Amino acid sequence: MNSVLSEYLNCTDCTEATLVRDAIEHAIACWPELNWVAHRCSNCETINYIAVNNGSVIEGYPVHGVVPTLAETQRIVIRGLSVKCVPDGMRISNLNLSWYIDAGDATASSASPKQYGG
């Protein structure tokens, strides 16, 4: 069974593999209105983005238009993954693990998806 403990994301810059659990656990910012979480690569310090949905994680690049979207590079189905978004953050759960990521984290300005795009 796929879980946050068995699935990997790849850095968009150096391709270093990171467990989904570690990306969520070490998140530096989130945007609940988009279901996005930002995490920093432990190898090269690049900020990477994932969209966390009930049952899946989408890895990709921010694309800006009328509505910001994530250009999907990988979709991982994770049975039992649960996310609840509220204006002030995101609660993510899988297996017996649970995380709360605050929106508007002090580091969010350096991770803002607004700095990326076309």
What are the φ and ψ backbone dihedral angles of 76, each rounded to 5 degrees? -115, 120
Express each pLDDT in 94-106 by its tens digit.
999 999 999 965 3
This prediction's pTM? 0.85
Q: Which residues have C-beta within 8 Å of that of residue 65, sequence separation ≥ 6? A: none
Q: What is the pLDDT of residue 109?
A: 43
Express each pLDDT in 46-100 by its tens digit.
999 999 999 999 999 999 888 889 999 999 999 999 999 998 999 999 999 999 9
Greater confidence, 24 or 117?
Answer: 24
Q: What is the pLDDT of residue 112?
A: 52
